[in-house]
């Protein structure tokens, strides 16, 4: 939309006129004719079709770098997320697998406990022994060794020494 013109008083700065595509058709000033630089003057003149100036090239290079960096960062994030997701899934499978293993081992433990208890049952051992013609001795003699120390009476100490000698003979004293 066009705006009404404002009067400009003398001494006041000229108001900035916004230009939009709609408000007024853009009118490009006519290309001024630039005189050809004198040879050796050193002035840089952009000639259409010739390479861009170094500033523009650098800006474009920066943009490309930013784009590459952004792509790398975004790619890394996506890759990371995918990796994390895979790892989580793997962990989940592993936990499930371990839970099953724990359950199986617990079951094995129970089975082994049962087997151990069955094999060590006195009835089974006695039956096995009977089948192999083993039997309990008719007469069992018990040797009761008193807890006599160095201060034990002479008789008791002698008895203890005698029992020890007997035990040594039975067990093989040199062994």
Partner 1 sequence: MKRPPIRRLVALFAGMMLAMATILFRLSILQVSRADAYQTEALDQRLHTVTLPAARGEILDRSGEPLAISLPARDVYANPRHVTDPRGEAEKLAPILKEEAKHLREELVADGTFVYLARQVPLRKAERIERLELAGIGFLESTRRVYPAGSLASHVLGFVGVDGVGLSGLEVQYQKELAGKPGERTQETGLTGQPIVGGVDVELAPVPGVDLVTTIDRDFQYQVQEALEEAVKQNAAKGGTVIVMDAHTGDVYAMASYPWFDPNDFSSTEPARWRNTAVTDAFEPGSVCKVITAAAAVEEHAVSLDEGFAVPDQMQVGTFTIHDSHSHPVQEMTIGDIVAQSSNMGAVLVAEELGEALLATYLSKFGLGQATGVGFPGESSGVLLPLYQWSDTSLATMAYGQGISATALQMASVYATIANGGEWVRPRLVRGTVDSDGTFHSAPHSPTRRVVSERTAKIVTRMLAYAVQSGTGTTAQVPGYQVAGKTGTARIPKPGGGYYTDRDIASFIGFLPASDPEIVILATLDQPVTIYGSVAAAPLFQAVARYAIERLGIVPATRVSLPPHALPVG
Q: Which of 170, 169, 146 is nearest to 158 (CA)?
A: 146
Q: Is 156 one of the binding residues for partner 1 (CB under 8 A)? A: no
**Residue placing its CB nearer to partner 1 in the complex, 120 or 151:** 120
Tokens 């853009």 belong to 26
According to CB under 8 A, which one of 42, 44, 142, 175 is a site residue for partner 1? 142
Count of residues in contact with partner 1, rule CB under 8 A: 15
114 vs 124: CA distance, rounded Å:
14
For residues 79-138, which are near partner 1 according to CB under 8 A? 107, 110-111, 113-114, 117-118, 120-123, 126
Q: Is 21 one of the binding residues for partner 1 (CB under 8 A)? A: no
Q: Give the burial string for 19-51 (b: 16+ CB within 10 Å, else e).
A: eeeeeeeeeeeeeeeeeeeeeeeeeeeeeeeee
Q: Is 34 one of the binding residues for partner 1 (CB under 8 A)? A: no
- Interface residues with partner 1 (CB under 8 A) are 107, 110-111, 113-114, 117-118, 120-123, 126, 140, 142, 144
């Amino acid at each position: 939309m066009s705006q009404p013109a404002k009067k400009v008083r003398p001494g006041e700065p000229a108001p900035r006129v916004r230009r939009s595509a709609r408000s007024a058709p853009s009118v490009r000033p006519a290309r001024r004719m630039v005189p050809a630089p004198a040879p050796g003057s050193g002035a840089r003149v952009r000639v259409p079709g010739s390479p861009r100036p170094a500033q523009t090239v650098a800006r474009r290079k920066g943009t490309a770098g930013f784009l590459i960096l952004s792509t790398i960062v975004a790619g890394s994030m996506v890759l990371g997320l995918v990796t994390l997701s895979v790892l989580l899934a793997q962990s989940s499978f592993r936990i499930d697998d371990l839970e099953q293993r724990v359950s199986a081992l617990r079951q094995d433990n129970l089975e082994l406990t049962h087997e151990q208890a069955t094999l060590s049952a006195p009835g089974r051992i006695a039956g096995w022994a009977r089948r192999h013609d083993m039997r309990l001795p008719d007469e069992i003699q018990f040797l009761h060794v008193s807890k006599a120390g160095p201060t034990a009476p002479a008789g008791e100490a002698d008895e203890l020494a005698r029992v020890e000698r007997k035990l040594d003979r039975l067990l093989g004293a040199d062994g």
